[in-house]
Amino acid sequence: MLKKIMRGMEKWGHYLLALLCAGVILLSAVWTRGQQAAEGGHQAALSDQSQRLSQAAPKPEALLLRPPVTGEEARGYSEKPVYFPETGIWKAHPAQDFFAQEGETVRAPAAGVIEACGEGSVTVTMENGYACRVQGLKSVSVQPGQRVKAGAAIGTAGGRVPFEGSGCVCVSFFQGGAAVKAPGDWAKIDTAE
């Protein structure tokens, strides 16, 4: 009996093997097509849901930022390299600098919670998901966890700003840890509370 099976396999085995391979390929194709259809439907549902949520979400109003000091802007935001005479280097400047007199009160550019402070800087986590870092402070008058309003005193000017020296206050904004342009417009009003 075994000899008959072996002779049959020698004569017809390659046909059986080919038939088995064709079946596996056919089942694989049917399964893959079903998975792609299910995934495409899932992606379409997610896209529709995302679109509905974005249409339903209120559009954020432009944020009005408070200048940190009374001085004019000394250097603007630039993703292209700019020259820093204090250090003699060229590098991007993802921040805005404002001229400041030593001892001048420095104010929070936006409302939020103090995330960190020290070494001449204060970081405010804003309610819209952005964070704001103010550098160039000689003294700091806030503590981590403290809630501040836009324009609230956070320290005094007169510290050094990395790469830039003294005589200015530097303000940088971040979203998801990446430096970004200011998420609003600077107020054209007095910085007093």
- Summarize pLDDT for 42-57 with one digit per residue, the tens: 455 445 544 544 444 4
Neighbours of 30 (CB within 10 A): 10
Domain that holds residue 15: 1-57
Q: Is 193 inside a domain boundary? A: no
Q: Is 192 inside a domain boundary? A: no
Q: If DSSP codes are grouped into helix, strand and coil, which group holds residue 5? A: helix
Claim to verify: residue 71 and residue 27 sit in the same structural domain: no
Claim to verify: residue 71 and residue 90 sit in the same structural domain: yes
The two three-digit tokens of residue 161, written as one number: 């700003």
Claim to verify: residue 23 and residue 46 sit in the same structural domain: yes
Give the chain's domain count.
2
Claim to verify: residue 41 and residue 125 sit in the same structural domain: no
The amino acid sitting at 22 is: A
Domain edge (last residue) among 57, 76, 99 = 57
103-157 pLDDT tens trace: 999 999 999 999 999 889 999 999 888 999 999 999 999 999 999 999 999 999 9
Claim to verify: residue 132 and residue 93 sit in the same structural domain: yes
- Break the chain down into helix, strand, coil percent, rounded to 5: 30, 35, 35
d(CA 161, CA 84): 11
d(CA 166, CA 186): 22
* pTM tops 0.75, yes or no: no
